[in-house]
Every structure is written in C-alpha cells, then in structure tokens.
Structure 1
Amino acid sequence: MSTTTRQDLLHAFDALLQPARFKDYGPNGLQVEGKTQIRHIVSGVTASRALIEAAIDAQADAIFVHHGLFWRGQDGCVTGWMKQRLALLLAHDINLFAYHLPLDAHPELGNNAQLGRQLGLKVSSCFGEQDLGFLGGRIDGSSFSSALELAEHIKNRLKRPVVQVGRAQGAIKSIAWCSGGAQSYFEAAIAAGADAFITGEISEPQAHYAREMGVAFIACGHHASERYGAPAVAAQIAAQFGLTHQFIDIDNPA
C-alpha cells in the first residue's frame, strides 16, 4: 500500500481546487494537523462527530470534507461540539482537510459539476457572485415539459423529496443551479434567463420571487445537493498517490 506525506497531499488538493481564488468565510485546506504519513482517506460532506467516529473505525489517516469545523458567525471557542470533534481528531492523529467554495466551484469534480452530472445537465455558462452558479440545460438539448416534471426528475435522481415553487405552466429549458445554501443566487439566476433554479435550501423570500417572476425554484436538500464533490475530488487525489479512499455518507435530512 502506497503512502504520501501530509504536505504533499495538501499541495495536491490546493493545486486542484485553487483556494486562493475565493473569498470564503472559513479556512480552506488543512484545518487540523494529524500524522505525517497518509495511506487511507475518508471523504464526507461535513466534519460531524459521526463522520469522525466512522473515519476512526475505518482507520483513516485523513478526512476530506466540504464543510469543515468552521461556520459563518462562529465565535471561535473550543467548547461543546467543537471540543468533542477536535478531541477525537487529535486523539487519533487524523488530518482534516476541508474546502468550501473551492469545492463547489471546480468545473469537473466540484459539487455543482457533479450535481449537474447526477441530474443529466450540461453547463453553458456561470453566473452569480464568484461565478459559483452554473447555467445550462439537458445534455440532449431537450426541455422538461413543466417544473413539476423537472422536480420529479430531481427527486428520482437524488432519491429524496424536493420542494418546488413557481412556474405553474410552461416548459423548462434553461436551468440554473448552485448546490447547498445558495438561495440568494435566485435573483441572479432569473437575471441570467433561467426558467428554473435548483439549490439545496429555500428561504421565505424565494417562494414569493418564484411565484411573481414565473421562474421555478426547486430545493433538493443542502446535504443531498453536496454529496458528490468531496468523494470525486478525494478519489482522484487518492489515485494520484496510490492511496486508498472511501466515501462515508452520514445522512442529513437538511
């Protein structure tokens, strides 16, 4: 079984995801330093205690996630859940790598690209702040007959219920999407000419915008929309170094 160093692994992730290009609310890269030599990587969506415990059981040397230990507005105190997660990582000498916006944005392996692949969509352009939103349509160029058909398609592909608001009538050809909590991108998607917008969450204002503007808003779950980027990136980098990798999905209804 091959190994690589923590530093070489960090350089590989940084070279692929280019975190310096993005303005983000938390640190991207190595968030917790563990052992120097790495053989086995576990990937997941969020560095929850459940994922860390599963990685310990899997004898991981490193964890690669989209959501790390830091969230917007966090006070920085190492208490409660933060202490519990850190204690597990440090006690078992596990490295934690986390990439937020850089993982959303990668044009082939990122959350948005992989979500589009899951849904059978191709990208024609980007939109929104930091060009994180994707705009395109079905790979074969056809339209969905209605927003309801698109919502049912997403439900079947992601295997979870979705919330669909707006666009009671009319075909859906131009589709915008941005994974996770990107409901604030809806107005930019409308301006870009989308017939429908797909993201993870919906907030109160977007339901009204959808009804008033005649553009469908489909919320398919924050976690469900971001299940695909982390394992795609981790698998590619693991293969580059000859490391072993496994994706562990900790279910989250949000």
Structure 2
Amino acid sequence: MVRPTPNDGCVWITGASSGIGRALAERMARAGWTVAISARRGEELEAIARNHGGRMHSYPLDVTDREAVRETVGRIEAEQGGIALAVLNAGTHQPMRAKDFSAETVRKLIDLNVLSVAECLEALLPGMRQRGRGRIAVVASVAGYRGLPSASAYGASKAALINMAESLRPELEEEGIVLQLVNPGFVRTPLTDRNRFRMPMLMDVNDAAEALYKGLRSGRFEIVFPRLFCWFMKLFRAMPYVFALPLMRRMIPRGKV
C-alpha cells in the first residue's frame, strides 16, 4: 500500500480548532503538507493558520450542514488541489447517566459524531473515485468497543462509526481508496477535561498526534493509541457478559458527573 506524501495533494482535517485535530494539523504542516482545517470557530482557525507560513488554510464549517460540507470540499479542491487525505475528526462528548437519559442528547451526538461523518464521506468520495486514489481516516473511540456507564449516547455514536468503517473498507479498497479507523483512548483535550473520573493512561495530545500521523502513513486499518490501554479495551470487549457486567457496575460514576 502506497504511503501518502505531501506531493499527492492536500490534507483536510475537521474538528481542527483544538485537541487532536489541531495538533495533527500542526504536525502535518511541519512535515510539508498543505493543510486545510475546518471547525465552527472561524477566528480560532484563522489564528492557527496564520502561524504556519502559508502551509495551513482555514475553512470554517459546521459539519452538520449538508450543503456547507459539499461547498467546502469543492472550495478546498479548487483552491488547494485534490484532497489526498481527509481526517474526519469533528465530534463531541457528553456524559449521560441513566437517570438523566435524553433522546435529545442522543440525537445531538448522533448528528455530529455520525451523520456529519457520513456527509463528509459522501462529499469526498466522488473526487477520490475520479482520481482513483485517496485516503480517509474516521476518528471514532475505544468507547465504541463496548457499552460503558455514562456513555450510552457517546459510545453508541462511536460504535456506529466503527461499524461503518468496517463495512466500507473492503469495497473502497477495490477502488483505490484507503479507509482507516482511528480509535483513541484517553487523550488530554478540552473534551476529556469534562470527565470527572480517573482516566487510565491519559496521553498528551502532541504524543497522540504523532501516533496518529505515523498511523496515517501506514497500511493499518485501525490506528489505536495509547496501545496498551486500547488492547485492554479489546480484551474487555471480548469478555462474556457474566463477567463484564459486574465490572461495568463498578465503573458507575459516584456523585455528580
């Protein structure tokens, strides 16, 4: 499988105003890529782009807006060249205890975490098919491996992304398009700062961006980091319910979330 290089075209990163998305954008700009960054916060994007010597370009976008997604992909390809690599990283996390269960919260997370990814995929694929090549990384989470307390909405959205990527990978590969799945563990970002529980093996965001960058240059389907924690979660996913459910009861957050 051919390793992507800056000569192939530009990279588009959504959710790039903070966290892993921003750190990855900065890492790829340093590596010589032309980087198009998108998020809703236009002023922050502009400030980030200005610091990277013309390598980074701001494209403010609400990824839940279907027409805006198509327009933005068209603008990027017209102004920066074909999108050789897309990292669909936009998403959010909202803890939700069973006592506070809300269909509106589920809808909000599914709209942003799942449907916006589908909109981006639909907008990207025609150009990549025409060129006969391309690479797309879908950022999910190890929270999608198994249902966890307070993650009934977030985990469900990430499980949907995992299933979607698994389903699409073989067919897209036949068309010359590489689809990769990114399943991070705990990374220090504004999203994880909301958590009120201990986060095992919490990873620095720049270390996470470096691991993601290396993964994007590989042929692996799934990119995980930190590796040890992700492999623990894979074992937990395989555990029978008779053992898993008692462990999950011990994970229930006590007190306020």
Please give the TM-score of this superposition, normalised by the length of structure 2.
Answer: 0.28
Higher helix share: 2
TM-score (norm 1): 0.29
Larger radius of gyration: 1
Relative CO higher for 1 or 2, CA cutoff 8 Å, sep ≥ 6?
Answer: 1
Counting strand residues as a fraction of each chain, which structure ranks higher? 1
